[in-house]
Amino acid sequence: MFLEIITAIAVGLWVMLPAYLPNSFAAAFGGGKPIDGGKTMKDGRRILGDGKTWRGFFAGVLLGFLAGAAQIFLLRYGFHFFGISLPGFSASGVSGAFDLSAVIAILSLAVGALLGDMAFSFLKRRLGLQRGRAFPVADQYDFLIGAFLLTAITSFGWLAATVSWLTFIIIIIITPVLHFGTNCVGYWLGIKNEPW
Ligand code: CTP
Ligand code: MG
């Protein structure tokens, strides 16, 4: 059981890397034109707010994609985690394969993460929460929900074959811890305005 849990942690972190990185990179490189164009809705509040920008979105997608591509190339050179073999992103099941299915899976993880984050910003604004205000649980899970949903739509076979139930549960447990940890680092570095 111990080895199974360690394996699930390693596989979970590895597979979700293209979903974990985009939001940090959006925070590091974001700014400029907001995606909602500064528009407000009938409730008088912004559609998404100034915290969701085009630059953040594209920086996040690009770096999430580059991370996934780099992971595949590492797998080609036999990369593994202390003897635990790590999965790739191709529906073919060949871990080092960089084919269309792998590109789609990686992009779905990255784009899904950013869309999930945007969807919850939309919800926060409708609830009257200003940009940057904490929305507990949602702030920690919004990007994960988006990443899983989009990847389940585009790459269900790969997802089901790669993420076991145990790995799925481990991802759900460690994601808020990781999210909080990286946000604290971002906050101390002055990249993020709030530690959530
Ligand atoms: N960011 C961005 N574009 C995105 C997502 C994030 O530019 N698509 C940047 C913004 O500078 C944002 C920071 O990353 O302030 C942190 O993201 P997040 O915590 O999601 O935004 P908040 O400012 O807290 O806004 P919200 O209340 O809408 O979550
Ligand atoms: Mg926030």
Distance in Å, CA 24 to ligand 1 centroid: 9
- 170 in a structural domain: yes
> 63-74 burial string, b = 16+ CB within 10 Å, else e?
bbbebbbebbeb
Domain presence at residue 195: no
Residue 41 lies in a domain: yes
Q: Which domain holds residue 177?
A: 2-189
Number of folded domains in the chain?
1
Mean local confidence (pLDDT), 132-137 = 95
Ligand 1 centroid to residue 84 C-alpha, Å: 35
Residue 144: inside a domain, yes or no?
yes
Whether the model clears a pTM of 0.85, i.e. scores above it, the answer is yes
- The whole-number average pLDDT for the span 148-174 is 98
Q: What are 168's two structure tokens?
A: 């799925």
The answer to whether position 36 is within a domain reads: yes
What's the mean pLDDT in 149-178?
A: 98
Interatomic CA distance for residues 110 and 12, integer angstroms: 15
Q: What is the pLDDT of residue 195?
A: 87
Mean pLDDT of the chain: 96
- Does residue 132's CB lie within 6 angstroms of at least one atom of ligand 1? yes
194 is a domain residue: no
- Percent of the chain exceeding pLDDT 70 equals 100
Strands, DSSP E only, in 55-180?
Answer: 80-81, 84-85
Contact 146, 164 (CB under 8 A): no
Q: What is the pLDDT confidence band of residue 3, given thresholds at 50, 70 and 90? A: very high
Query: Once rounded to an integer, what is the mean pLDDT over residues 104-123?
Result: 98
* Ligand 1 contacts CB of residue 143 (under 6 A): no
In a domain, 87, yes or no: yes
Which tokens sit at 83? 């003897």
The answer to whether residue 196 is domain-embedded is no
What are the pLDDT digits (tens) for 39-88? 999 999 999 999 999 999 999 999 999 999 999 999 999 999 999 999 99
